[in-house]
Amino acid sequence: MNITSLKTLTGLTLADLAAKLDEELPPDAYKAVPGGADLTDIDPNHMNRILNEVFGLCGLGWGYHYDPASIDLRNGEKRIFATVGNLNFWYTLTDETGPHRFEIQATGGNDNSVAQYAMKGAITNAIGNAASKIGFQESVYLGKRDHRTVAKRKLVPPPAKPSTPAASSNGNGNGNGASPAPATPADDDPGSHVIHVGAAKGKTLREVSIEKVVYFADPTRYARADENAKALALAAERYAASAEFTAKKVKAN
The CATH architecture to which 3-152 belongs is 2-Layer Sandwich (3.30)
Question: Distance between CA 144 and CA 164 in Å, rounded?
Answer: 42
Question: Distance between CA 133 and CA 70 in Å, rounded?
Answer: 21
Question: Distance between CA 239 and CA 213 in Å, rounded?
Answer: 8
The reported pLDDT for the residue numbered 185 is 45
- Report residue 166: phi and psi, to 5°: -65, 145
DSSP annotation string for 95-121: ETTEEEEEEEEEEEEEEESSHHHHHHH
Return the bridge partners of 91, or none. 62, 102
The reported pLDDT for the residue numbered 226 is 61
- R_g over Cα of the chain: 23
- Could you tell me how many residues make up the chain? 253
The reported pLDDT for the residue numbered 130 is 96
pLDDT tens digits, 198-210: 777 888 888 988 8
On the question of pLDDT at 27 being above 80, the answer is yes
Question: Distance between CA 37 and CA 75 in Å, rounded?
Answer: 26
Instruction: Tell me the pLDDT band of 186, cut-offs 50, 70 and 90.
Output: very low
Exposure string over 208-239, b if 16+ CB within 10 A, otherwise e: beeebbebbbbebbbebeeeebbbbbbbbbbb
Range 103-127 average pLDDT? 93
On the question of pLDDT at 233 being above 60, the answer is yes
Range 54-82 average pLDDT? 91
Asked if 225 contacts 237 with a C-beta cutoff of 8 angstroms, the reply is: no
Question: In which element (H, E) is residue 82 found?
Answer: strand 80-95
Q: Where are the domains of the chain?
A: 3-152, 185-252
* Whole-structure pTM value: 0.57
On the question of pLDDT at 181 being above 50, the answer is no
On the question of pLDDT at 221 being above 60, the answer is no
On the question of pLDDT at 242 being above 70, the answer is yes
